[in-house]
Amino acid sequence: MRSNISRRELLRLLGTGAALFGMDTRRAFAVSETESRGSIASTAAASAHEPSRVVADPTDIPPPIKRGHPIHHEVALEALEVEGEIEPGAKYDYMTFNGKVPGPMLRVRRGDTVTLTLHNNIRSTTWHSIDLHAVYGPGGGADILKVLPGKAKSVTFKAVFPGAFIYHCAVPGEMDVHIARGMFGMIVVEPEQGLPHVDREFYLGQNETYTKQLPGTPGPRDFDSDRLLLEQATYVVFNGAYNALTAGRFGAMKAKVGETVRVFMVNGGPNLLSSLHPIGNIWSRAWFMGAFATPPMRFVQSLPVPPGSAIVADMELPVPQTIRIVDHAMTRAMNKGVMAEIEVAGKENPGIFNANPLKSPSTGPRQRG
Ligand SMILES: [Cu+2]
């Protein structure tokens, strides 16, 4: 178990921590102690019930914006600590926005204004906050939106610049733990002219977490502060759970041959860079780092998505297949759960890919050698 002193020293070395945020350091460290024992009171009370499904539906996102003028949004988010399952039968104490990982996708147009209210559920064990990278302001809003259990606070901000951005809990001294437990999501600020049309959109959130137990072992999962300090993640996942968005768990995403699909992916981290790759396809158009003001890259195999950043990337679907989206740091995809599937249904297209070339008439001279 990591000691309070080492934590304090770590914060000092990082030049950050509780003092920077004007916070009571004793409370921050007390929370750390509680968490390292894995005894979150509110979720312990819920453990007699079925664990929540924390895995966010990747299609549960707001539609593209068609407006030509700015508007004002009233947005409410709730910090909610829930017990879920990171693997079947492996309970894990999550911290979430609105009970899901990632938190809800917020979608606005450049020039819109947003009044964001963060409620912290009364059963929470600690305070929570929110830092939005789409915001000009102290802490990305987090300096004001530090909310104790049972309380709520609000800020109003203008979406000045376009892009796809992370939001995350930024509770002083513990934000790495809270993000590892699930407290992150995406805010999309569409450019004034909107984004190019696609047929389907999917929303993924990658993060990693640090547990005393390894994947595949039985029983509940306890948070491991030592592994966090050493950045030795035991799980790397999309949408909060091991292989969550696959046919073998909560189901694959679906699409059809001839369609175009767009993936919004936010990497919460807290520490690991993702190398986002669609096995059997290519990112045909990608806004690197979610930067809509920069022309998209074309035909990219693996997109680096740093922690605290996002990507927006499109695929063409010329052939039927199951596309497996992975972090191409392959040990993570093979062993730690960072895999999602898109099942593409439709007619074969042998001019693009032919699985039975010997049964088909030759389409031209063959290359020898
Ligand atoms: Cu938090």
pLDDT in tens, 104-162: 999 999 999 999 999 999 999 999 999 999 999 999 999 999 999 999 999 999 999 99
CA distances from 270 to 47, 248, 320, 353 (A): 26, 27, 35, 39
Compute, in angstroms, the gap from residue 81 CA to the centroid of ligand 1.
9
Res 359: pLDDT? 78
Please give the distance, rounded to the nearest whole angstrom, from the Cα atom of residue 132 to the centre of ligand 1: 13
First to last CA, the chain: 61
Q: Give 306-337 pLDDT, tens digit per residue.
A: 999 999 999 999 999 999 999 999 999 999 99
112-136 in b/e form (b: 16+ CB < 10 A) is bebebbbbbbebbbbbbbbbbbbbe
| Span from the CA of 159 to the centroid of ligand 1 (angstroms) | 23
Do 190 and 251 form a contact (C-beta atoms < 8 A)? no
Task: Tell me the mean pLDDT in the region 64-85.
Answer: 97
pLDDT-derived band at 267 (thresholds 50, 70, 90) equals very high
Q: What is the pLDDT of residue 18?
A: 31
Ordered domains of the chain (ranges, CATH): 4-190 (2.60.40.420), 200-345 (2.60.40.420)
Q: Report CA(181)–ligand 1 centroid distance (Å).
A: 9
Q: Are strands 184-190 and 106-109 parallel, antiparallel or unpaired?
A: parallel
